[in-house]
Chain A
């Protein structure tokens, strides 16, 4: 326990020192990775803990980003009120969509969320007077020297990440978390045991949505330009799922570890082989799914180390049917 606290303290110190020690490029890159860590951790609550494959989770990111963009550019709002309203929009959407879609299971839920996300994207595109439609919308940017601006968004993302990690850690230890895990293991049995499954599923999705929506809001302010294809991009969710798979589904720190690994590889590949970037990402996805479906964290927690990877490699060379 003591060792854990020391490690966490050192990590925190390391992260706090980043904007003071590294150049603007690195600060922005790590901010981006922190953003994906938050998004993957948020998705992990509904998908990893509760077992619902919410492939349409970008709907909350997009709605958060657009709420902030519209309020700031058309409504004259400043950033923080816009952020709070974005969070509210995300939660309300999650509750309403949840009441409709969380009755569906497995593939049907995955597809339902994808359909809902696409529908919302098209609604945003068609509300041209409010959202400027498909051409995107600009947001009044944060004024200040580059170092201050970079630092602001870096610490904002870092705080959000710490917040969601604390929430995920608390959940994994309390009633709520046990309810989520019971639903993942066997929803029918959980229902029979007296767990109000619908309520808990909606709570899980709302928690996921509020963090995703806030992150979308910060993204809009950070990039100061957004358009529907970017903020509703399904491939982002796919990347989040790969991050969760790399790190370990249903664990607190897994998605963060996965985000750092995948985005670091992405960045290395992106700068060197721009033509092969997507192809390599595709290969990584396929490899991760085939060889490490339980994530890296399972290697640490089960204490069996890399022997497991070798075993997986060997097992995966024979058919599992």
Chain B
């Protein structure tokens, strides 16, 4: 029982990592807490559901499509709207993303109604049994896909010119401008990448969670916790933060009622903020 929940926690922790990476990227680079990140995940889940219903497309195969659509959406939002308020104070940008969140929720409600949808895959019952532990195939696939995405993102930030430019802009905005980086464009790409990761996360959760207009809210809460646990702007940190959250949640259910879980998540968030604002793992990446 305990071993099984540890396995479940690690498997789902990778999805949390994908969510946390996108969220902490925008925060770390642009100093925006994007409350609408959960809404992007929700859009991703709805897209996967729609592709599945309309074309019978497997949610795993809709990942690239979701990412492309959400990248475009994120890029355009940043380029034409957010770039105009991004240098404002905390409560300007935070209020803005709250507005964006309820706007998106309303649009999704109009398109997909308030009904709870779910995707039933042909292999959703299948699993690998090792001793007393069962590893469901779907969750294993989700785990692997999330790890691949995390790896690709890591390489993107380290090895590509755009990734390095994003890092440079995050570390020194004026400096980046001086050396000829088009910061407006870099910000738009950053937001696009973050949204794309959210879109992928939406595809990943669509086979195991019900798709509904209230999906986004709790996930933003988790993204807060992961980003704070891992420290801003760190891929490895977000991966660790996601795993820790996944483990705490699943192992926690063995020892306590599930209503306590969220309480613990938020208590941890506040305590880490107060005592280790640079994250559990390490140094401060961005000022």
Q: Residues of A at under 8 Å CB distance from B? A: 47, 51, 53, 55, 100-101, 103-104, 106-108, 110-112, 114-116, 118-119, 122-123, 125-126, 134, 234-235, 238, 241-242, 245, 275-279, 281-286, 289-290, 293, 316, 319-321
Contacts and interface: CB of A to CB of B under 8 A. Distances in A.
Nearest to B182: A321
Given A118-B262, A279-B103, A285-B99, A111 B91 contact: no
A286 B81 contact: yes
B124 interface: no
Interface string B103-137: 11111011000000000000000000000000000
Interface residues of B, number: 46
B154 to A, nearest CB: 24
| B27, B81, B95, B269: residue with the most chain A Cβ atoms closer than 10 Å | B95
B280 interface: no
28 contacts: A47-B91, A55-B91, A104-B274, A106-B31, A107-B90, A111-B33, A118-B221, A122-B260, A123-B263, A134-B259, A234-B98, A238-B99, A241-B95, A242-B99, A275-B106, A277-B106, A278-B102, A279-B106, A282-B101, A285-B102, A286-B96, A293-B85, A293-B88, A293-B92, A319-B83, A320-B83, A321-B87, A321-B187
A247 to B, nearest CB: 14
A110 B90 CA distance: 8
Interface in B258-277: 259-260, 262-263, 266-267, 269-270, 273-274, 277
Interface in B207-225: 221, 224
A285 to B, nearest CB: 3
Interface in B228-282: 228, 259-260, 262-263, 266-267, 269-270, 273-274, 277
A132 to B, nearest CB: 14
Contacts of B76: none
A118 B183 CA distance: 35
A235 to B, nearest CB: 7
B193 to A, nearest CB: 18
Nearest to A284: B99
B107 A279 contact: yes
A305 to B, nearest CB: 23
Contacts of B109: 275
Contacts of A103: 274
Contacts of B7: none
Contact of A115 (B31, B84, B100, B266): B266
Contacts of A100: 270, 274
Contacts of B92: 245, 289, 293
Contact of A286 (B88, B94, B100): B100
A77 B76 CA distance: 56
A122 B98 contact: no
A110 to B, nearest CB: 5
B182 to A, nearest CB: 9
A119 B266 contact: yes
B165 interface: no
Nearest to B228: A111
B86 A114 contact: no
| B27, B90, B269: residue with the most chain A Cβ atoms closer than 10 Å | B90
Nearest to B105: A278
Given A101-B274, A238-B98, A126 B260 contact: yes
A115 B94 contact: no
B98 A111 contact: no
A301 to B, nearest CB: 19
B184 interface: yes
Contacts of B84: 290, 316, 319-320
Nearest to A318: B84
B178 interface: no
Contact of A321 (B31, B86, B94): B86
Contacts of A289: 85, 88, 92, 95-96, 99
A207 to B, nearest CB: 18
Contacts of A319: 83-84, 184
| A101, A281, A282: residue with the most chain B Cβ atoms closer than 10 Å | A282
Given A110-B33, A115-B269, A282 B262 contact: no
A313 B262 CA distance: 42
Interface string B63-84: 0000000000000000001011
A124 to B, nearest CB: 10
A111 B224 contact: yes
Nearest to B183: A321
